[in-house]
Structure 1
Amino acid sequence: MVRSKNWRENIVIDSAVLTGKPIIKGLKVNSMQHSLLPTCCFMRTESEILRNYLGLAHENIQAFWMYASYLLRTERGYPVNISHKVD
């Protein structure tokens, strides 16, 4: 059960940390966090993720998915016309 529906309580975006890349609040900043997206996308179970990322909690994974959902909902697409002739 997710205690909070606000991903901002678990995900931190700070321009002074990793040039503003989102990180999980309270975890030591390291390169391991950057592989969380591919890990989740390759159909790992939550228990496998928690076993491989010490210090990560269920709430962190839920916040991660809420943040990903937020990004997809707020993403803007800009059409670009790239039609050109090649001689």
Structure 2
Amino acid sequence: MEWRKHIIADETVLLGKPTVKGTRVSVEHIIGLLAQGWTEQQILENYPRVNQESLQAVFSYIQECLKDGLLYTNS
């Protein structure tokens, strides 16, 4: 999955947070919904501009961030 086709960071949208392209839905928000127990289907139903491919891109983006050590741990 080439997440760069679906996830963008634009300084004029949500202060540059990574978002689903063409929306104001941030990667952080989607991950937060999943952490609260939302299903992928619930996200797709409530955010019609987000599609299955967008969700896959979010997962791919997060996986790459973890792999590259871009997220911090408590030490």
Under TM normalisation by the shorter chain, which class is it?
Answer: 0.7 to 0.9
Q: Given the two structures, how large is their TM-score scaled by the length of structure 1?
A: 0.68
Q: Given the two structures, how large is their TM-score scaled by the length of structure 2?
A: 0.76
Counterpart of 2:17 in structure 1 is: 21
The two structures, once aligned, show a CA RMSD in angstroms of 2.4
1:1-87 pair list within 5 angstroms: 5-27=1-23, 29=24, 33=26, 34-75=28-69
Shift of 1:74: 0.8
Aligned residues: 73
Structure showing greater Rg: 1
Percentage identity across aligned positions? 31
Q: In 2, Cα distance between the equivalents of 1:14 and 1:54?
A: 21
| Unmatched 5+ stretches in structure 1 | 81-87
| Unmatched 5+ stretches in structure 2 | none
Q: Which moved more, 1:34-43 or 1:48-57?
A: 34-43
